[in-house]
Amino acid sequence: MSTSDPLAGTAAARHPEPRRSLLVCALVGAAVMAGVDEIVFHQLLHWHHFYDRSTSGVALVSDGLLHTAELLALVAGLFLFADLRRRGALVPGHAWSGAFLGAGVFQVFDGIVDHKVLRVHQVRYGVDVTPYDWAWNLAGLALLVIGGVLLARARRAGGRRPS
Amino acid sequence: MTTGPVAAPLTLACVCAAVVYTVGAARLRRRGDAWPWRRDCVFAAGCAAVVWGLAGPVPGGPFTAHTGRHLLTAMAGPALLAVARPLTLVLRLLPPGRPRRGLLRVAHSPAAGGLLFPPVAAAVDVGGLWLLYRTDLWEAAHRHALLGGLLELHMLLAGLLFAMAVCRLDPVRGRCGLPLRAVTLLAAGAAHAVLAKSLYLSGPPGTAFAAADLRAGAQLMYYGGDAVEVFLALVLAVQWYAATGRRRARQAARDAVPAGAR
């Protein structure tokens, strides 16, 4: 936390906001996961296809909306995070838990809704996709579990802290 | 070169605008106004992007080159120009009198207010793009040079309109909250991304671009659109961050005064 904070010492400052810390970092976590998906699987590995011929119109629109929302979420999330830090309202435990939960929710959503329900594109082409789908969704689940454990720990720590 | 009849006059206009802006900003600074240098740089970069898109060399096949040009003249260039607050600069430079009053009247007119209402500006900008790529307009524009030129001009002005409507940095009619501007940016970005993905599969009606060219162009459109969108989102985020900080500082100053002293 910066010591040159103009609000330091005022009554409004240094009031921790665990809920907001969690939500803001969930936004950042989801957006970062989406960025990893775009950079690693689309650009570096070329596993995902830019356009899958079986993509329906609805899937195309949902993909466009989600892709744009990811970009805006990354920008908005980082500035909301900076605002939390500026006010000294960031609670690190809840923030980390939020980041993992957000990343996990995105991964599972991408794996089930985008890949399987809407069929925007598959994890990989020209191979049996089943193990890839399992790995994809279990990785998402693992992120969710880590986020859940961190949240439970953060809540316990918050409860112990004298307020 | 695939540029139409408006390329030469538009290029000249851009060069003149850059010179006028730089001279004007220097005059403002001489008289003591705070006008950051970065705005001069951003405006010059915007003019350079437009000129490059109009007349410069662009790599790739015919469709990819078209997409690159469009990205420069109708998206990146206008976004940079809008961020440099050209209207604010002109209003500060003009002495009180008829031209200044006239310009203010235009900026505050209901027509300008309507056009600068973010959803309308987005519809004009991205809607025009959909018409160009998904109707026979593309073919007509390539048969009639004048129509093609007018379209080029429309794309530049519509891009400027959209960037100004979303960023709201210049004093125009009507205030518009951040949520509406952010949602408009989201919707416009999504419409742009969907159009780019659909072009990956099939080009504009009446055209026969090579598949590789079409795909490269569509991907350039998709990711180039992302870059401009993130730039506009950063402008909005900085506005929000600064405004929130100011509001809190005011609140803190009020709270610091003891209740009895008010």
**Are B200 and A72 a contacting pair at CB < 8 A?**
no
Nearest CA in chain A to B242: A83
Q: Which of A30, A51, A75, A105 is nearest to B226 (CA)?
A: A75
pLDDT per residue over B6-40, tens digit each?
A: 888 999 999 999 999 999 999 999 999 999 999 99
Of B229, B238, B244, the CB nearest to A68: B229
The CA distances from residue A40 to A28, A45, A138, A142, in Å, are 18, 6, 18, 19
Task: With CB atoms and an 8 Å threshold, state whether A68 touches B194.
Answer: no
Helix (H, G, I), strand (E, B) or coil at A11: coil
The yes-or-no verdict on residue A97 having pLDDT over 90 is yes
Residue A12 has pLDDT above 70, yes or no: no
Contact between A119 and A59 (Cβ < 8 Å): yes
Question: Which residue among B185, B194, B200 sits closest to A64, beta carbon to beta carbon?
Answer: B194
Confidence category of residue A4, pLDDT binned at 50, 70, 90: very low
CB proximity A4 to B under 8 Å: no
> Of the candidates A103, A113, A130, A114, which has an alpha carbon nearest to the alpha carbon of residue A42?
A114
Counting one residue from A and one from B, how many pairs have CB atoms under 8 Å apart?
Answer: 83
DSSP structure string for A87-156: HT---HHHHHHHHHHHHHHHHHHIIIIIIIIS-S--S-SSS--HHHHHHHHHHHHHHHHHHHHHHHHHHH
pLDDT reading at A10 higher than 50: no
Q: In this structure, how many other beta carbons lie within 10 angstroms of the beta carbon of residue B246? A: 10
- Alpha-carbon distance B91 to B169, whole Å? 13
At residue A41, the pLDDT reads 80
Cβ of B197 within 8 Å of Cβ of A75? The answer is no
Backbone angles phi, psi at B35, to 5 degrees: -135, 100
Residue A17 lies in a domain: no
Domain range spanning residue A91? Answer: 25-157
Q: For residue B80, which of B53, B50, B43 has the smallest C-alpha distance? A: B43
Q: What's the pLDDT at B11? A: 92
Q: Please count the other Cβ atoms lying within 10 Å of the Cβ belonging to residue B57.
A: 8
A-chain residues near B229 (CB < 8 A): 68, 71-72
**Mean predicted confidence (pLDDT) in B154-177:** 91
Per-residue confidence (pLDDT) for residue B139, from 0 to 100: 87
CA B254 remoteness from chain centre: 39
The answer to whether A52 and A120 have CB atoms below 8 angstroms apart is yes
Do residues B165 and B159 make contact, with C-beta atoms less than 8 angstroms apart? Answer: no
Asked if the model's pLDDT at residue A8 lies above 50, the reply is no
Q: What b/e readout covers B76-102, taking b as 16+ CB neighbours within 10 angstroms?
A: bbbbbbbbbbbbebbebbbeeeeeeee
Domain boundaries, chain B: 7-261
**Do B70 and B155 touch, CB atoms closer than 8 A?**
yes
Q: The complex's ipTM? A: 0.86
Among the partner residues A10, A69, A79, nearest to B240 by beta-carbon distance: A79
Nearest Cβ partner for A10 among B186, B215, B252: B252
The reply to whether residue B186 touches residue A64, judged by beta carbons under 8 angstroms, is: no
pLDDT for the residue B76: 97
Nearest CB partner across the interface for A12, out of B226, B236, B251:
B251
- Neighboring chain B residues of A78 at a CB cutoff of 8 Å: 237
Q: Quote the pLDDT of residue A136.
A: 84
What angle (nearest 5°) sits at the alpha carbon of residue B190, between those of residues B189 and B193?
A: 85
Alpha helical stretches, state H, B31-144: 37-55, 62-70, 77-83, 86-93, 98-107, 110-115, 118-134, 137-143
Residue type, B37: W
Which amino acid does the sequence have at B76? A
pLDDT at A53 (0 to 100): 67
Of B185, B200, B248, the CB nearest to A50: B200
**How many angstroms separate the Cα of B46 from the Cα of each of B2, B86, B196?**
21, 11, 23
Task: Report angle CA A57, A63, A69 to the nearest 5 degrees.
Answer: 140
Tens digit of each residue's pLDDT (9 = 90 or more) over B206-220: 888 888 999 999 999
The answer as to whether A98 is a domain residue is yes
Helix A130-160 with A92-109: angle, nearest 10 deg = 160
Taking CA–CA distances from A63, the nearest residue in chain B reads: B194
Interface-testing mutation among B126, B166, B194, with chain A (most A C-beta atoms within 10 A): B194
Give residue A145's region: left, alpha or beta (phi > 0; psi -120 to 50).
alpha
What is the predicted pLDDT for the residue at B262? 54
Average pLDDT over chain A reads: 82
- Count Cβ atoms within 10 A of the Cβ of residue B175 and give its class: 0-12 exposed, 13-18 middle, 19 or more buried: exposed
Contact yes or no for A50 and B197 at CB 8 A: yes
Q: How far apart are the C-alpha atoms of B99 and B48, rounded to whole Å?
A: 28
Q: Is the pLDDT of residue B65 over 90?
A: yes
Residue of B126, B184, B185, B197 to mutate, testing the A interface (most A Cβ within 10 Å of its Cβ): B197
A 81-120 residues with CB below 8 A of B?
82-83, 86-87
Q: How close is the nearest chain B Cα to the Cα of A115, in Å?
A: 17
CB contact under 8 A, A75 and B230: yes
Q: Which residue of B has its CA nearest to A74?
A: B230
Largest CA distance in chain A: 61
Across residues B180-197, what is the average pLDDT? 95
Contact between A68 and B255 using a beta-carbon 8 Å cutoff? no
Of B185, B191, B238, the CB nearest to A72: B185
How high is the pLDDT of residue A161? 54
Q: Is residue A1 part of a domain?
A: no
DSSP, collapsed to helix, strand or coil, labels residue B202 as coil
Q: A8 vs chain B: nearest CA distance in angstroms?
A: 10
Amino acid residing at A105: V
Burial environment of residue A119 by CB neighbours within 10 A (0 to 12, 13 to 18, 19 or more):
middle
Q: How confident is the model at residue B261 (pLDDT cuts 50, 70, 90)?
A: low
Give the pLDDT score at A9: 44
What's the number of domains chain A is made of?
Answer: 1
Instruction: Return contacts of A154-161, CB within 8 angstroms, 24+ apart.
Output: A154/A18, A154/A91, A154/A93, A154/A94, A154/A96, A154/A97, A157/A93, A158/A18, A158/A91, A158/A93, A158/A94
